[in-house]
Chains A and B, each alone.
Chain A
Amino acid sequence: MTTKPNINTSAISLRTNNLVVGYSAPIVKGVDLNIEQGKISILIGSNGCGKSTLLKCLARVLPPLDGEVLLGNKSIHSLPAKQVAKRMALLPQGPIAPEGLSVKELVSQGRYPHQSFLKQWSIEDEDAVTLAMQQANVKALADRAIADLSGGQRQRCWIAMVLAQQTDIILLDEPTTYLDLKVQVDLLDLLSEMAHQHNRTLVIVLHELNLAAAYADHLIMMKEGKIYAQGTPEKIFNADNLKAVFGLSSKVIKEAESDSLICVPIQKIKQTQKAKPALNATNKVEL
């Protein structure tokens, strides 16, 4: 694989300052976040905790009610849209490609911020698209229609699109949802390579706790619109925090070979089963 990292990567910083985001009522309530450069930061939290809302505000999809998002010390919502898009890309949750778009056409859309009315399609664009398709391993699919691909392949194409944008920062909202475990792992491996070998800064909202613990350099746990805990998985991925953030009773164990942390939920039914083996099946459901 050709390695052509952006030499000009002076790795631009992304942080938030007392950020309040929401629609009518605030959902994200005063978040101070400092995204580490060239690392994978993963946001986790229960449904409705505001992690996606936070990501949307980072990506300028939502304006802040209060506070600000700073991209290289400038408020992101005051910078020209195209200028921001040259530094930061977004892959929203469950994106839908218009019918009839081919893989290459989709990936080419990533070059939009680098083009203008006078400067349409350059060799630079062509190279970036080819490189991105190689990195995401979709080169062989270039002329296929997006609609004909499997879920995993499709998601790879979308990732290729944000890679083609050649930004320092990439935001991804649940990029692995609804995919097979194997495909999820493949995608996260790809993203991990982007961060650690190509010095991209990744911010990911993820549902799958064990994968979050395995791939995050920096884990951010959100609860009720605020950051409950953040740090390396070793530091914060433990039973107490999981109980507090998700209300989930679990054990966190360390897998000996890979050193990754694994959260094993404690099943209520199994517990009661052990305690009262006499209970029959119908009662168990009602418990």
Chain B
Amino acid sequence: MNRQQWLSSTGIIVMLVLLILALIWHLSIGTKTISLIDITHSFYAFDEDNFNHLVIQELRLPRAIIAICVGACLAVSGALMQGVTRNPLADPGLLGMLTGGALAVVYWSTFVHAESLVWLPLVAAIGALISAVIVWGIASRAPGGTTPLNLILSGSAFTAFSAALLAIHHLLDEQTFQEMRTWLVGSLLASDINVLYWCIPWIIIGLGGAIALAPSITALSMGEEVATGLGINIRRRKWQLLACVVILTSVAVALAGPLGFIGLVIPHVVRFWVGADYRWIVPYCILLGAIYLLFIDTLARWIIQPQEVATGLITILIGAPLFIWLVKMRVR
């Protein structure tokens, strides 16, 4: 094991420790601050009559787990998109999935007048999926097929188009928008643990696929010709990878709405640290994405206690300066 590998493996352990610390902080912060002792007790000596235990187990833990899953999914799908398209600015939103999911939800709540939000995640996931299929379809019909450039072009066109539709809707129907406001910037407030149960198999497929395919993403990121020379069936591998992206992003949209930024930035932060080998990038993205969203979600509930800010906003408000600082550090 050389120095680089040693650093990368110790990094994983450091990240795991950070993840646990972030989780503990997340669990203790909220409308009511709960002590570490109560948190640990709630795990191995759960007491139904203890209000703190209930809050931890029934409210905060599900939310924390959802944050972990969403962060991991978005970061990994961003990394895959960047690797496959060889575009450092690619992110899950590029396939139109975030705005597409949002649009589907807005139309759903306008036209169906659903009382509850039960169907919302499913609608979001379907919207995201349909968007991906549309963008993919347009790209594959362009000359040259689903090349990275075609995907990016049709993706941006579709994203702009669906964003415009969203805006029109916003102007015409304020009522719905009032209700959807929080969801549309991405929030874990309304996230439902039951949705997570549905998502878990997909998360396992998506993340497992990403880990299994990671070595070939490194090869793909060196260009299609090099990858072909190394024995990768480009067409099939891209399908598999984009399928992973679609699964992971749909899950994230279903759980937390159109949460941007994480998919774009986390992979870059990871690359600063571990370099360009996806064998390391993918596991690091899983961990860092999870830590980041957990941390951000804690901040969102902490800044103006007992109120909370939409997580999607804090993601960017904190994330953007942090990212700029990182870029500066690296350039120096």
Contact = CB atoms under 8 A, between A and B. Distances in A.
B271 interface: yes
A67 interface: no
Interface stretch (A95-103, A184-192, A199-207, A256-264): A95-103
A254 interface: no
Interface string B141-156: 0000000000000000
Nearest to A142: B2
A115 B215 contact: yes
Interface stretch (A35-43, A106-114, A228-236, A274-282): A106-114
A198 interface: no
Contacts of A61: 224-225, 228-229
A106 B229 CA distance: 14
A59 B4 contact: no
Contact of A105 (B3, B86, B232, B276): B276
B221 A112 contact: no
Contacts, number: 88
A99 B216 CA distance: 16
A92 B221 contact: no
A100 B275 contact: yes
A84 interface: yes
A86 interface: yes
B277 A113 contact: no
A92 B231 contact: no
B interface, how many residues as a size bin? Answer: 20 to 34
A102 B275 contact: yes
B222 interface: yes
Contact of B4 (A84, A102, A109): A102
A226 B229 CA distance: 24
A83 B231 contact: yes
B226 interface: yes
Interface in B196-235: 212, 215-216, 218-219, 221-226, 228-233
Nearest to A96: B223
B219 A60 contact: no
B142 to A, nearest CB: 14
Interface of A: 56, 59-61, 81-86, 88-92, 95-102, 104-106, 109-110, 112-113, 115, 117, 143, 162, 165, 171
